Amino acid sequence: MKKFILICVATMLACNTSFAWGRLAHATVAKIAENHLTKRAKKQITEYLDGKSIVYYASYADDYKPELLLDVGFEPSNTKRLTTYPHTFEANDDCTVFRGTRKGDKFVKNCIYQTEQLAATLKANHREMTDSARMTAIALIVHFVGDMHCPEHIRYPEDQTIGYYKVKFGKDSVRYHSLWDTQIVATRNPWGYSDFSYFLDTFSKRQIAEVTTGDLYDWGEDIARSSRHVHAIKEGAKLDKRLYLNEYQPLAEELVRKAGYRLAKVLNEVFK
């Protein structure tokens, strides 16, 4: 992998990075997925990641964004940012997912489409790929499946903002996007990712089969339908912290859980 390319650009990007979930949720998604990898998939992934767990790479796409995206061929999108980072997806009015990308506009940010392409490439070519290319593809899949399950990483026809505005969360003024990235799961959570995954990874085989039925686009529609009401909160809203967490924390935990099971399915399909 290219090492620390264009440090000055990376520094600029650090000031503008958008994270889907914080480290806790991304690591929890990866840990739940790891719990449900087949022996074959886990063996191959461990080999390709030089003995490291996928949890180690859960936030790698945020930490090394410029290097990773250059490695997989994303081109500069404009003069202000090195790349267009595919951390969101677009839902149509009926909550189905916009498929594919249109280079040069917002749809290139479709993390579902990018996950689909990365998984297909890995499945077909992982034995011939370079170490760097394999690691990059796995790290991005681990991260993007988490991204797609974060409600404020969905763009709806009536709301394209992905929460880039301020609200009052108790006494604090916060960006609504950031509330969903981190605070929604971390505020009341005293545990690390290992314990958090233990508490969330409770589905039976039948329940796991239900939430992993279909493909990435079916899952995207499910996420968009269950998350739409999150976008009813508008700029300047005053949120009672206790009441807001009571209402929305269960949804956040449900989506983290589903992301873990679905990530396992993607990886198991790639390395079967």
Task: Concatenate the DSSP letters of all residues of 193-227 into one string.
Answer: HHHHHHHH----HHHHHHHT-S-HHHHHHHHHHHH
The pTM of the full predicted model, rounded to 2 decimals, is 0.87
Q: Write down the pLDDT at residue 217.
A: 97
**How many angstroms separate the CA atoms of 102 and 131, rounded?**
30
The pLDDT value recorded for residue 231 is 96
CATH superfamily of 7-270: P1 Nuclease (1.10.575.10)
Q: What is the pLDDT of residues 154-167, one digit of tens each?
A: 999 999 899 999 99
pLDDT band at 66 (very low <50, low <70, confident <90, very high): low
* pLDDT per residue as tens digits for the range 110-120: 899 889 999 99
Structure confidence by residue, pLDDT tens digits, 203-218: 999 999 999 999 999 9
Please give the pLDDT value at position 108: 58
Q: How far is CA 197 from CA 31, 34, 265, in A?
A: 6, 10, 17
Contact 58, 146 (CB under 8 A): yes
Burial 130-165 (b: 16+ CB within 10 A, else e): eeebbbbbbbbbbbbbbbbbbbbbbbbeebeebbee
What are 209-214's contacts with CB under 8 Å, separation 24+?
A: 211/258, 211/261, 211/262, 212/261, 212/262, 212/264, 212/265
Helices within the chain (DSSP H only): 7-14, 23-35, 39-48, 60-63, 65-71, 111-125, 131-148, 176-178, 184-186, 193-200, 205-211, 216-227, 241-270
Close Cβ partners of 269 (under 8 Å, ≥ 6 residues apart): 119, 123
More confident residue, 26 or 72: 26
What confidence category does residue 47 fall into, taking pLDDT thresholds of 50, 70 and 90? very high
